[in-house]
Structure 1
Amino acid sequence: MKKDINVLIVEDETLVSDMIRGTLKEINYNVVGRAVNGYQAVEMTQKLNPDVILMDIKLPDISGIDATKMIYEKRPTPIVMLSAYYNQELLESASESGAGGYLIKPASHSEMERTITITIDRFQETMKLKKLNEDKDKFFSIISHDIKNPLFSMNGYLGIMTEYIDKFSKEKIKDMTLNLKKTYESFERLIDNLLSWSRMQTGMLKSIPKTINLYDIAIKNIKLFQQNAEQKEILIQNEIENKIEAYADYNMVDTIFRNLISNSIKFTNKGGTVKISALLNKNDIIISIYDNGIGISEKNLKILFKIDSKCTQTGTSGEKGTGLGLILCKEFVERNGGRIWCETELGKGTTFYFNLKSGNN
């Protein structure tokens, strides 16, 4: 395993470099090169893409700390700083520059192996956290206008109705009230999803699995969207057998059904069909929600479940969406040990599948 880890040594003294190389060889690390100064270290990092760098803190041109900063700007890499003596101030400076480990030369085999392992693990966790934070920031910038839009829309409807209600016919008032209700319901679902997602990110929302009846959950959500479906003359068919049960968190599965059924109605034309089915296997259940709607483009299919991308597609009656519902579905399915996927054909329809542990065993 360690043979797959490539190490770049940055050390200007040949004797010391050879000692480090020998130690690395004895503990089965692969040395891909040696740089004798800071600028060369930056250049070789770009060319060799090492898995970890052992960087002398004192170099002939620039300090190892400055070289580390330059490397982090161009290609972040796990770095272990090397020094001939312990210095708390240097240690803090090295850490601030991006170095994840610190070794006093000469280091023993066990010290070097342990420090390299910890540095790589710490680096990977830091990069994951950095990516997660970047994705969240991008996600919130994407979704912020989706939160404002329905508020502006509702405010606009209320303003017009307040000022001109005496001039409108009953039919016009009814139509505007219906549009206002649709906007409110869409906004309410967005807020529900956003609250669920934020609670999950902060660790406040835990999966509490138990045996749940999928037929009952399907019926509950069909009733929830019955009026929406009737307005578009869409038939929702529940083909799940009453006896089929899953072992999963009830609220999470309920949210998955709610979002997928809502999506199917949104992207199905007037007079279309939505079918909810479940296939019981030996150890799991595959749930499918099918619609014969407009389908999903290849471009949007690639980013359906990605938090850092906005999947833009307008519903068949002009409904707007944020894509948050599908992101939430993916996280909830995975929290319950399953996976979610999609099959679609543009202009013909879409089927979302997800699997859960069987509760019938």
Structure 2
Amino acid sequence: MYLYTPDEMDRERAHHQAVIQGAENRDVKRIGNLGELAFEQFCREYLPVEMWEWKNEEAIRRCNPESFSGYDFEVFGYEIDVKTSRDVSAFRPANILENDPDDDIIVMVWHRDNEDALILLGWERTETLKSKVKTQEAYSGEEPEKLAHLAARPMNELHDLGPNTAHLNQKPENPFSPGDRVVKSGDDDASVAVVVEVLPPEKNTTAYGQEMDGEAVNVAFPNMLDEGPGNWREIHPAKLASYCDDQDIKLYTYKHTNLELAENPFTPGDYVIKPDYDDPDLAMVVEVNDEGDNRDIAVAFLHHIEEESGGQMYVPPAKLRSHCDECGVKSYSYESAELSFEHQY
């Protein structure tokens, strides 16, 4: 058995995809998505990457509705459906067949009540399940009241269905996550970009007509995100790929080794605080000085902006400086190292 612990990004994507899908029972759809994420991690650790395919990878990464597919994964040519449940009785052979009679293999994943951990219990061929049910009906009669048969072969036996391979561990080497602020390595005048999505390492990605040798990262630039219909800074980073896809915001693809975390990550419109204060007020960046001044970030406190804006709820980041000047909102200058993000999602 294998334990999978979803992080905040996984949970947000699993839930938002269920919302976008329009599922009648979002809780069931969300936990089903987490089960698929768990099995994807197992595949990445133990199975040759060129011999399995996750049908819903892009849909969950971008929180888009899934295109119809009768199964979740294809592994070594077998159609595999992932069944996730808190109720272990769902993994009795007859119960599995009632819901999933047509797939080649069923993978069983159990989850805790609060969905903070999932356990890959095992897998079984559908044909074997049918045989077990038939045998039980013919010879076993009623099962003991306190002892029910659950179907499960050990997860590590799944690789026996394919070629003999060593432990592969094909996890991404990419160090970035959605929401990270990055710049192009070696460019002293590079603009700050926002990581929107990290592509799986097996994706054959092209950039400028050339196939990319390495793991790809899609980024968007804040000024382009600012032109969208919503305040993207109030969207969880896990949903940025969905937002950009919905709004046709252009993404730029980089090899991950060509990027580095931005030393000064702030851009106009960011929510920030000065963390060394005991009870810091929320502020917004109104200007970034690129001329090398030590006090390179100008901010205005949010309550001052709201008080002086006459009820105007949102000011485009590009107009924050002029808006504050026109309304008499005082700004204050700080070094970028003195400030930290105070996210509003």
Q: TM tier, shorter chain?
A: under 0.3
User: More helix per residue: 1 or 2?
Assistant: 1
Q: RCO higher in 1 or 2 (8 Å CA, sep ≥ 6)?
A: 2
TM-score by length of 1: 0.23
Rg larger in structure: 1
